[in-house]
Structure formats: structure tokens, C-alpha cells
Amino acid sequence: MEFSLQQDASQLDTASSVILPLADLTGGISTLTTDSLKAADNLLSGAISHAIASGDLSSKFKSSQLFLNAGPGPDRILVIGTGTPEQLSGRKYRQLVQAAWSQISSNPGHSVLNQLTTADTKSLDLNSKVRLSVEALVQACYRFDQFKTNNKNIVPIPNMVLLAQTSSQAQLDQSTATAQAMDLCRDLGNLPGNVCTPSFLAEQGHKLAAGSDKVITQVLEEAEMESLGMHSLLSVGKGSAEPSKLIVINYQGGEEGTQPHVLVGKGITFDSGGISIKPGAAMDEMKYDMCGAASVMGAMQAIINMGLKANVVAIVASAENMPSSTASKPGDIYTTMSGKTVEVLNTDAEGRLVLCDALTYAERFNPKTVVDVATLTGACIMALGHHTSAVLSNDDQFAKGLMKAGNQAFDSVWQLPMGEEYQEQLDSNFADLGNIGGRAAGTITAACFLSRFTESYTWAHLDIAGTAWVSGAKKGATGRCVPLLVQHLVNQV
């Protein structure tokens, strides 16, 4: 979907379809409060005001009516209720945009003028409404049907014109790049594990670098990782025929020599649990265990397309975790790239085993900041559910900055504590630390494990286990936390 801006609200004849908001500004009484509504009512010979008077249309949230216009002007005019300004939050605004699109998506024409950006709300500024409009519309148009041989649902995709001032152009550009990157993230997450392997992710890394003189992608193979001492990362893929990869995407959009911001993604392309095998029910969802990597690669695509003036390095630690006679076993001990030794108490706590070596590798870039992203712990779902991701950090101010970026991007995160008392749960009788700390505070102890490998730089960990995908009949990858990562990087410029 292509997006552009229009400043003049009265020009309704520039599009095939028009979406107009009807706000509740008078205690539940619906009236034509804007010039656009009045102009549309004139085009329709009073049909809108008649629908309001008859009770067929109201300003109640998502109440709507589609009017067909046989005369001059747009072919279709959709009027949709936005509720009261106090009720119209970011979440409800997203729902409003998607509800409007569902009413006209079967036949929108060549272009749609969306005036929902003028909806009255107490909590959203214009740029927020532009951001939410773009992301909600792209999400509504998203389909993953490449493996279906028939009955593909082809949706007409018009040009979408948003009513906003030219000052919102930068926000529109960022939002468009972010929404497209979320689609990449969704695609990678939704691909089956027999297609999206570590080698496939490496190919996607090279595609990001193609055609840009600012991007270099390097893929470290197992032999090179072995020589670097990445025995922890390599231990995870020992039971699989698929070779593990470390994918490094280096974007130089800032001044030469400026410290880069580093993103590290967990790329477990399928997680059976290894020898500590998972239950069979819903194991198919373990193809989503590379959504941390997918969000990092999506964020890189966005900033490349935006031409962000910053240096950013993405590191994807990718492996397939399978049980076999060569797989690592509970009780095995491995030496990490840092030199620390880890006792593998549970092979299903594999994400931290690949991330710790990737975080040590990040040191060579002398990073300004490092953020790792992972579908790391089921405990995070128990703590925060499926709406908010967790952030844990060795720098409280940095964590607060990520929370601010999450609020700006409507991709929320919440900080969890990470004190010395939790570190003690990782004590091992036989190695420097164990890879699990027991059932209590599982999200926190996982972050504590990673913190042992980030002592030389400012670091934060994002656990997106509850937000990266949706289970059930409508299961699929969500594209989070691409918006947060992009906004975080924009805020650094």
C-alpha cells in the first residue's frame, strides 16, 4: 500500500473512496460537526444527516454506514463513529482504522482519502494518528498464503491518502518503512522451519545488503565460530543437520568512526527443546522462536530504507535445536567465547546459549548501546501476558529510554528488576554458571545470565515471548517489536 498526505479536508473528489470520522462531542448526540461531513452530506443530497436522524448511523465507536455516490465526487463515502475524545486511545484508534478498512476493502477503488487523522482524541497527536493509521492498514492488508495452492484471498490495494499537514511527512516516511519491516518480520516468523533455516536467514541478511553501499553482511560459519571459541552457541545446533550461523549486518549511515548501536537477535529457527524435549502439543509454534532475529532484521530493513543517519550493527545468532545422538545433554559444560563456562542444566534454555556468544562478539564493535531481542521465556508470558514485552538492563536510564520509545511507537515494554539476589540462582557446582536458575523469576534469571556477558557496555534485553506471535485459530507472527526498535534508533540520532 502506497501512502501520501493531503492537507485540504474539503477536497473529497481526489479519491475513489473517502473515510470520514463522526465524533461524539455533544453528549451522545451525533451531528455534522466538520466541513468534510457537511460537504459529503451535500454531495449525497442529505443522506448522512438523514441516516443520523433515523438512528441508522451514530457517533458510537465503530458505528458506520457506507454511502454510494452516483454523482460527482468520490464513489463511496464511509462515515464511522469515533466515540468520545476521552475514549479514543491508541489501541482503539488502531481498531477504528481497521474497522473502517474492513467496510471498504472489497472495492476501495484506485485511492482512498482517509480523514480519520482528524478524529477528536485527548491522547493522540497528529503524528501518532499518522503512525497508527499506516501500521494498522498495512497489518490489515497482510496475507501469508504463499503455501496455499488455491483460494488465495486477493485484496485490492489502493493508494492511501491521509489528511495531515506536510510537517507529518517525516513521520509518514518512518511509519511506512516500519510497517513494511513488520511485514518482513511477519513473513520470516510465519515461514515453516523446513524453509526458514539458519542458512535461509543468512540469505536474507545478504539481501538486506544488496544494492546499498552503506551495508555489509558477513556470515560466520561453524568453523570460524569454533576458532573464535563460540562453543556455547555451537552446542545448540549439535543435534541438527542444519549448520548454525552468526549473521552480522553492518549499516554505516552515520559519520565514520562513530560508535554504533548494536541489535542482537535470537534466531532459533526451530526449537524442539533438544534432549529436554518439549511436549508435542503446539510444538509447531516453535518455528516462531526466531522472531527476535526477525524483528532485528526488520528493524534493519526499516532504517536502511529510511537512510537513518546512524551506525547500526545487527547480529543474528541462529541455530536449530534438535534431539539426536550428537545433541548436547543436560549436565554438559561448554566454554563460551568470553571464557566463562556454562553447565547446561536444560537444553530447552538454548536461547541464552546462542545469545551469550553473540553478546561477547558485539564487544569488537565498541558499541554505544546494545539491545538483544528474544522469545526467551514462557515466564514472561506469565508475568506480562501477550500485550507488553519485558525489558531488563544494566542501566536504568537506558531501560527508561526504551520504555519511552515503546510508548512513542505504541509497542509497549515494561522494566523488570535484575538484582544480585537473582544472580545467585545461576550458581553451579561444576561451572561458572548454570543456564537456568529454577522456576522462580525465570525471565529475570534469564536476563541475569545474559548480563554476565555484557559488563563492558550499556545493554538491555527485550523478552518478546508473549508479544511476538498469536496462538490459536488466527495464529501468526505479529511483527513486534520492530516499531520499538526503529523508534529507539531514531531517538539516538
- Supply the residues annotated as catalytic: 278, 352
10 Å Cβ neighbour count for 252? Answer: 17
Give the 3-state secondary structure of the chain. Answer: CCEEEECCCCCHHHCCEEEEEEECCCCCCCCCCCHHHHHHHHHCCCHHHHHHHHCCCCCCCCCEEEEECCCCCCCEEEEEEEECCCCCCHHHHHHHHHHHHHHHCCCCCCEEEECHHHCCCCCCCHHHHHHHHHHHHHHHHCCCCCCCCCCCCCCCCCEEEEECCHHHHHHHHHHHHHHHHHHHHHHHHHCCCCCCCHHHHHHHHHHHHCCCCCEEEEEECHHHHHHHCCHHHHHHCCCCCCCCEEEEEEEECCCCCCCCEEEEEEEEEEECCCCCCCCCCCHHHHHHHHHHHHHHHHHHHHHHHHCCCCEEEEEEEEEEECCCCCCCCCCCEEECCCCCEEECCCCCCCHHHHHHHHHHHHHHHCCCEEEEEECCCHHHHHHHCCCCEEEEECCHHHHHHHHHHHHHHCCCEEECCCCHHHHHHHCCCCCCEECCCCCCCHHHHHHHHHHCCCCCCCEEEEECCCCCEECCCCCEECCCCHHHHHHHHHHHC
Considering only CA atoms, which of 97, 113, 111 is closest in space to residue 64? 97
How far, CA to CA in Å, does 205 sit from each of 32, 185, 301? 52, 13, 10
Look up residue 66 and give its three cell numbers. Answer: 457506507
Report whether 208 contacts 249 (CB < 8 A). yes
CA 28, CA 241: separation in Å to the nearest integer?
A: 64
> Cis ω on the peptide bond leading into residue 481 (within 30° of 0)?
yes
Strands 159-163, 341-343: pairing is unpaired
Residues paired with 315 in a beta bridge: 248, 264
